[in-house]
């Protein structure tokens, strides 16, 4: 691939260790990494991207999603339900999915993320109806061109055993572990610059047994992969934990090996002070999903307290059935606003929220090769137009989350341009959308 020289950006928000903000600077992308940053760079035969009038940031990192849910946005009956009722409305619809639904819905979700500045996303796929496999979403990420941290989710406690999901959507625990081994061996790339990694991710403590939680942790550590689940999402979740396990979610997680720098938990809206200390001490990560938490009325996660205590926090758009959009820059803005609702106007700056959305997320996913613009880091770059209606009149273009566009102008992943002039260049998005709508109609008619 030819080198790319990004030339003369109005401002480059590096998110490097000094949090430098460079004006009129250039970046040279070579062999998937940032080869140089500075002023008046030259490179023979490089493709030149003229960045005057643009704001350059690291690509945003999404730490929690259920891509398949883009096929069930704004479903009547689930629009205004609390978490458990919402799940019960959607499970029967999801049980009619198959490989094509997984592939197309993932393409839609990944393109939506890319257009909002995201270069690296995780996905939590915890149901496998109709022959669907994790492979379907990995294929979608390869075709869209995003860096991908797939997680092999699972549910094993169906209705007949007192669980929430219908029996048809749950799997045998031995089969779950075997397929987890298969997908790790087939797709996980531990190397720096990896485009695909795989993690192990039982859906939540209330959808699998204690044994599977423990075995999944042992498997993940044996294979050297990360672990992910939902934790402490709302008051119902805490009540369930106290009643069924006799302890709070933090204790449950710790007892089963679910703390550590190779673990990240989604939501954590209801962590108490002791649990925040536990997460900080153990270097356990959090995927904060503010829009989903608002949408489901779950509450405001104590992100200010977590950050102050040293907990690693990234952002997640969460599944599209609970957001229902998957725009990561909008998510970052929401994160900033919610902390202000809770703690006052000086509780989180636009720059800090962008930091959480970039290097914060990369840190949570164990990717110290991503999330910042520095020499030697991966060439994952979001470029924003500084002359949109949203930032016209802005005195501080770098305060992107106070006044800035909600879509990128251009996006590079591993040095490859996948968004140009605000459009996907890797896939025929209108065609994918039309297929998605056809599949959604089929699910609605069934």
Instruction: Give residues in contact with Zn ion (CB under 5 A).
Output: 318
Nearer to Zn ion, 65 or 188 (CB): 65
Chain centroid to CA 192: 19
What element of type H or E holds 148? strand 147-154
Nearer to Zn ion, 180 or 298 (CB): 298
Residue nearest to Zn ion (CB): 318
Q: How far is the CB of 2 from Zn ion (least distance, A)?
A: 39
Nearer to Zn ion, 254 or 318 (CB): 318
Q: How far is the CB of 233 from Zn ion (least distance, A)?
A: 8
Q: Which residues, in sequence order, are CB contacts of 353 under 8 Å at separation 6+?
A: 332, 333, 335, 336, 401
Nearer to Zn ion, 57 or 293 (CB): 293
Q: How far is the CB of 237 from Zn ion (least distance, A)?
A: 12
Q: Give, to the nearest 10 degrees, the angle between helix 83-94 and helix 235-245.
A: 90
Q: How far is the CB of 291 from Zn ion (least distance, A)?
A: 12
Sign (positive or negative) of CA dihedral 167, 161, 221, 223: negative
Nearer to Zn ion, 275 or 318 (CB): 318
How many Cα atoms are found within 13 Å in the side-chain-facing hemisphere of 311? 29
149 contacts 121 by C-beta, under 8 angstroms = yes
Q: How far is the CB of 112 from Zn ion (least distance, A)?
A: 16
Nearer to Zn ion, 125 or 427 (CB): 125
Rounded CA-CA distance 146/137 in Å is 11
Cis peptide before 324 (omega within 30 of 0): yes
Q: How far is the CB of 91 from Zn ion (least distance, A)?
A: 14
Say if residue 443 is exposed, middle or buried (CB neighbours under 10 Å; 0-12, 13-18, 19+). middle
């Amino acid at each position: 691939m030819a080198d790319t020289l990004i030339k003369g950006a109005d401002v480059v928000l590096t998110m490097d260790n000094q949090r430098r903000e460079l004006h009129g600077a250039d970046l040279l992308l070579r062999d998937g990494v940032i080869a140089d940053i500075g002023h008046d760079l030259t490179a023979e035969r490089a493709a030149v991207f003229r960045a005057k009038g643009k704001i350059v940031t690291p690509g945003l990192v999404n730490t929690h999603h259920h891509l398949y849910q883009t096929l069930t946005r704004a479903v009547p009956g689930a629009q205004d339900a609390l978490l458990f009722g919402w799940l019960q409305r959607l499970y029967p619809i999801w049980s009619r999915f198959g490989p094509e639904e997984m592939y197309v819905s993932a393409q839609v979700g990944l393109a939506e993320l890319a257009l909002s500045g995201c270069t690296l996303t995780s996905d939590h796929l915890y149901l496998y109806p109709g022959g669907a496999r994790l492979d379907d979403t990995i294929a979608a990420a390869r075709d869209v061109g995003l860096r991908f941290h797939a997680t092999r989710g699972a549910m094993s406690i169906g209705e007949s055993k007192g669980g929430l999901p219908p029996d048809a959507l749950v799997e045998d625990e031995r089969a779950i572990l075997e397929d987890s081994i298969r997908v790790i061996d087939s797709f996980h790339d531990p190397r720096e610059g990896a485009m695909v990694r795989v993690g192990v991710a039982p859906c939540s403590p209330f959808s699998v047994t204690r044994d599977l939680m423990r075995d999944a942790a042992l498997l993940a550590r044996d294979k050297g992969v990360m672990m992910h689940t939902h934790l402490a999402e709302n008051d119902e979740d805490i009540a369930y934990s106290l009643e069924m396990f006799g302890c709070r979610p933090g204790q449950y997680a710790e007892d089963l090996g679910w703390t550590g720098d190779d673990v990240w938990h989604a939501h954590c809206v209801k962590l108490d002070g002791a649990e925040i200390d536990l997460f900080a001490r153990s270097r356990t990560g959090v995927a904060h999903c503010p829009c989903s938490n608002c949408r489901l009325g779950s509450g405001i996660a104590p992100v200010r307290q977590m950050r102050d205590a040293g907990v690693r926090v990234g952002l997640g758009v969460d599944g599209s059935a609970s957001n229902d959009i998957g725009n990561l820059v909008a998510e970052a803005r929401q994160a900033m606003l919610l902390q202000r609702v809770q703690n006052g106007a000086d509780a989180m700056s636009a720059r800090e929220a962008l930091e959480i959305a970039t290097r914060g997320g990369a840190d949570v996913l164990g990717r110290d090769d991503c999330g910042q613009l520095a020499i030697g880091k991966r060439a994952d770059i979001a470029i924003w137009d500084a002359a949109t209606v949203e930032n016209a009149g802005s005195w501080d273009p770098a305060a992107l989350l106070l006044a800035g566009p909600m879509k990128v102008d251009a996006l590079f992943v591993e040095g490859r341009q996948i968004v140009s002039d605000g459009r996907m260049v890797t896939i025929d998005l209108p065609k994918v959308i039309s297929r998605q709508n056809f599949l959604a109609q089929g699910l609605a008619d069934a």
